[in-house]
Structure 1
Amino acid sequence: MADINVQSPILIVGFFALLIIFACRVISNVFFHPLSAVPGPTVGAASDLWLVWRTFTLRKCETLHECLSTYGSVARVAPNKIVVSSQADIKTIYGIGSKCLKSQFYEAWAFGGAPSIFATIDPKDHSMRRSIASRTFAKKSIMQFMPDLTRHAQTLAKRLEALSKQGSESNSTAIDFIQYSRYLALDMLGSSVLDEDFGLLRNGIEHPFVHDLDAAALKLTMSATLHPWLWAVLKRLPIPRWKHLLGGDARLAEYATKTVEHTFHERDQGKDTGITLVSSYAKYEDANGARLSTGHIVGEIASVYFAGTDTTSATMGFTVYQIAMRQDVQSKLRAELVEKAGVDGRIAYDTLENDCPYLNAVISECLRLYTAAPSHLERVVPPGGITLSTGHYLPAGTIVGVQVYSLHRDPAVFPDPELFDPDRWLRASPEMRQALSPWGFGSRICLGMHLAHIQLQLALAVLVGNFHVTLPEGFDHEKMRMKNFWLVFPIGRKAEIAVKKLEEGGKGVTVCA
């Protein structure tokens, strides 16, 4: 009893001491911080906890957009974080030659401990990695794989037709298009970038790493967002299911290791491994003739597994949802595709790219509303600070970023910004085209943007060109509300549609190289 009586006052004093320290820090952050003159919510200026809470309630983008709508194009959303929605500041923060480097947020995005082009902060390291990868991801290189890419698109059409017939027989017509978009993305990645034949659409079954993609997305975002001490506690929780989830990124690294080792073996046997990404890294030699280690390349390949699938499939899910709701858009798109396909129903990719303005308008509008990673891309202000277009001076060490979500919803550039309106892109102003930034900015712009755009074009062509797309009976639109946890997704985790093969005599569309 004596020990308890002695310890109780100590605990109470300790608690109040921590409370006083926290209160003093809050007061200092709000009133005396170098960023105190930047407008923003007081609760955000007081502590990082507010923004962390908004992130984990899946409302970060909307919250930051509300701040920018309330306080102007620059808002302070955490003690040392500034979010911006001005096009005028993109060059200062992200432009080639900018000394604003990535924040520590990105360091967590390593697979199996191996860093990647996305995670690396050092500009020289990034430049070396990008120079290698750009050979594979260049539009000209991707076009060499067009026969395989169009074949996968046609396989998607066959799979959807089979599913629609099964649905008619069982009175169950709901198809989760996000699932099949993910299969399509992985099959296309395999053929064009990874030198792998996954056969997911052909076989109609998913590879085990499909679930590891979800696990990695959750784990990596959590570890990048939470305070290190909290993450150190959480990752040690002895819960079997939790421990398995935390291993998702390591399992992706294991799959990547097999791919890399296979390519290394073929290289050592003197076989030509082509221009796939693994091959580009396997062939690389620095000025001294040194080659990259297996571990170095594994990080790159694992990140491609991750970044090249969930991003495109989520955007595709939202796209087909809009197409299913908007029969006017669907009819107009189908009419364009059928006209360009001609009497034989065949349409070359070059036609989709250069002679189908409405198809590309639909894609632009979906990328505007449903950018896969729409929140601000954090950068650290360099020594000497920077001055924004608004006149706000940001001292060295400030974390700043432009939020694409807000750029895409600027009513001065996009009237009625929440309306899905592909026609706006048929009369697009220079300001609209400049504001559309789904792939990021500057030297860090998404390497896979050409492949992703091709996937969207081919998938929409075979879907709308061959099927009438509707929503299942009794569809719950609430399930398609967009949420964001670094990447966007519908709150229901699915994008269910019903497809019906166009009637006999109607022109189907076959995409070809």
Structure 2
Amino acid sequence: MAMLQFFLSYGIAIGIVLSAVYTMQYLDSLFSRYGPVVRVSPNEVGINSPDAVRVIQKVSGGFGKSAWYDMTGPGMLGMRDREKHSRRRRLLAHPLSNSSLPAFEPLIQAKVDLAMDQMEAENRRLGYTDVHKWFSFMATDIIGDLTFGSSFRMLEQGRRSQYVKDLQAVMPTVHKRIELAPFFDMLFLLPLPQIRQVTARFQRIMGYGRESIRRLQLAQQAGTLNTPFFFDKIMNPKDKENALTDIEMEEEAAELMVTGTDTTSNTLTYLVWSVLKNPAIRNRLEAEIETLPTKFTDSDVSKLSYLNSVVQESLRMYGAASGSHSRDVPRGGWEVGGYLIPDTATVLTQAYSLHRLPGIFPNPNLFNPDRWLNATPDMHGSFIPFGGGPRICVGIHLAYMELRLTIAAFFRKFRDATVHPSLTEDDMDLENYTLIAPKAHKCLIKL
């Protein structure tokens, strides 16, 4: 029986991983067919009930992160120990808080402006621009500056740095290794060229982080740092007992690069694409943006009700981390929806499905920012694009700032933008390797 369960579990996992672009949709189809509680493998149960998800995410619920997270790396994202996670979060949360972000706003605004200029220049050369590419460069340069104290200069150069190429290349491998750990662990023992290439990429990623942290330490000691950056207080915390080692700082820096780049750029891409396909939404958004002062700030943009509704609707439909997240059922089991789930099981929840519950979000597949102008408590309670509870994304406030400033700049500058006729719905189909992305990895727009 144990052997049968092993092959059943990994048979399902292999099938899902090999068609990873459909992982979220597949689980969502199970919820649509069978209801909010679905057994998806011998030891995994999918949950798509807002009340149940809130219980899972609460500290008092007792649902700890599952062993799945052991494979995601040693950074804060994968920490399963609650106390250790809490200490690390307190250290990282301050530079990413609402009170700290105004110090970083001029840098962010400068990157947004440069991205708009580069899109305009590319459009003059080619007759279109790839907004997905430029949003990716922009988000990466922002997080590079704020994390490492120096930009990757991808916006200026118009191409990906080696560090970013390595990060993006290893993401599908990391995703598959997490899902198929025993097989991938054995595979990495083989002297295959592809394995050596992946190993080399991992070594370069950690090497870059190591060099960058060392450069920051030397500059800080010499007093030559003249721009704010996240690791300033992390490198010199008031609480010396919980200070990070150099290796831990390298790990957190790499994690910030992953969680703070494609997350923002992919949501921005889908936002622009969705708005440009809806003239009424686009006209209303542009009219509201016209009320902003010539030199606007994030504080100005945060007051625009319709723009913020557009952001919320984009996060509902295209939040970057919309896939499933697993938690261990607490000791003694858990009763939900008339079922008793044993404490040997893990439960899966995903924003993709929760955000498409028709009883809470009518016509859930329709991009409709108006729904957020009079949002119900149930809508707010079921909205989890950044997760929820004590493990909600630490970079949520930075993400909102980037989304607001970028959208205000784009729709003010490019009043004649249209979706390029060569871009198809299939190109924009959701691909999901841990984070969602357009299937074609491009979004061509005529400005």
Scaled by the length of structure 2, the TM-score of the pair is: 0.93
| Deviations 1:183-222 (CA, angstroms, capped at 9, x unpaired) | 1112221333432233322343332122112123112111
Distance 1:116 1:273 in 2: 28
1:349 aligns with 2:298: yes
The amino acid that maps onto 1:463 is F
Whether 1:420 and 2:372 are equivalent positions in the alignment is: no
Residue of structure 1 in register with 2:163 after alignment: 209
> Which amino acid letter does the alignment assign opposite residue 166 of structure 1?
R
Work out whether 1:164 is the aligned partner of 2:123.
yes
TM-superposition CA deviations, 1:425-465 (whole Å, max 9, x none):
12222211221110001111101111111111111111111
Aligned to 2:400: 453
Q: What is the 5 A alignment of 1:12-23?
A: none
Superposed, 1:94-133 pairs within 5 Å as 94-110=57-73, 115-133=74-92
Equivalent residue for 2:419, pick from 447, 451, 471: 471
Shift of 1:314: 1.4
Map 1:87-236 onto structure 2 (within 5 A): 87-110=50-73, 115-167=74-126, 173-228=127-182, 230-236=183-189
Higher relative contact order (CA 8 A, sep 6+): 2
User: Using the alignment, how far apart are the partners of 2:238 and 2:95 within structure 1?
Assistant: 16
Residue in 1 that maps onto 2:270: 318
The aligned residue for residue 505 of structure 1 is none
Give the partner amino acid of 2:366: L
Corresponding position: 1:462 with 2:416: no
CA distance in 2, matches of 1:290, 1:419: 47
Aligned to 2:438: 490
Q: CA deviation at 1:496?
A: 1.7
For residues 423 and 255 of structure 1, do their structure 2 counterparts lie closer, same or farther at Cα, with a shift above 3 Å needed?
A: same
Distance 1:247 1:452 in 2: 31
How has the CA–CA distance of structure 1 residues 340 and 493 changed in structure 2, closer, same or farther, with 3 Å as cutoff?
same
Please say which of residues 427-436 and 194-203 is displaced more in the overlay: 194-203
Alignment partner of 1:66 is 2:18: no
Gaps of 5+ in 1: 1-20, 30-43, 168-172, 500-513
* C-alpha deviation, 1:331, in angstroms: 1.8
**Aligned partner of 1:54 among 1, 16, 31:** 16
Aligned partners of 2:159, 2:273: CA distance in 1, in Å? 23
Give, in angstroms, the shift of residue 409 of structure 1. Answer: 0.3
Range 234-243 or range 371-380, more displaced? 234-243
> Over residues 115-165 of structure 1, what are the superposed CA-to-partner deviations in whole Å (9 max), with x where a residue is unaligned?
100121111211111010001111111121111111111111211221122
Asked whether the 8 Å contact 1:152–1:187 carries over to 2, the reply is yes
> How many residues get paired?
445
User: How far 1:276 sits from its partner (Å)?
Assistant: 3.1
- 1:227-376 counterparts in 2 under 5 A? 227-228=181-182, 230-269=183-222, 276-284=229-237, 289=241, 291-341=243-293, 345-354=294-303, 356-376=304-324
Structure 2: 5+ residue runs without aligned partners? none
1:394 aligns with 2:341: yes
Question: Displacement, 1:90?
Answer: 2.4
Identity of aligned residues (%): 27
Q: Secondary structure at the match of 2:441?
A: coil
Equivalent position to 1:437, from 366, 381, 384: 384
Which secondary structure state, in structure 1, belongs to the residue aligned with residue 332 of structure 2?
coil
Contact 1:373 1:488 in 2 (8 A): yes
Q: Distance in 1 between matches of 2:405 and 2:113?
A: 9
**Is the contact made by 1:324 and 1:497 (CA closer than 8 Å) also made in structure 2?**
no
Give the direction of change, closer, same or farther, for the CA distance of 1:471–1:255 in structure 2 (3 Å limit): same
Residues 1:83 and 2:31 are matched in the alignment: no
Q: Which moved more, 1:473-482 or 1:460-469?
A: 473-482
Distance 1:440 1:291 in 2: 26
Deviates more, 1:275-284 or 1:215-224: 275-284
Q: Is the 8 A contact 2:13 2:179 kept in 1?
A: no
Residues 398, 285 of structure 1: alpha-carbon distance in 2 compared, 3 angstrom cutoff: farther
Q: Is the 8 A contact 2:119 2:131 kept in 1?
A: no
C-alpha contact (below 8 Å) 1:263/1:282 kept by paired residues: no
For residue 347 of structure 1, give the secondary structure of its aligned residue in structure 2: coil
Partner Cα separation in structure 1 for residue 23 and residue 181 of structure 2: 17
AA aligned opposite 1:283: N
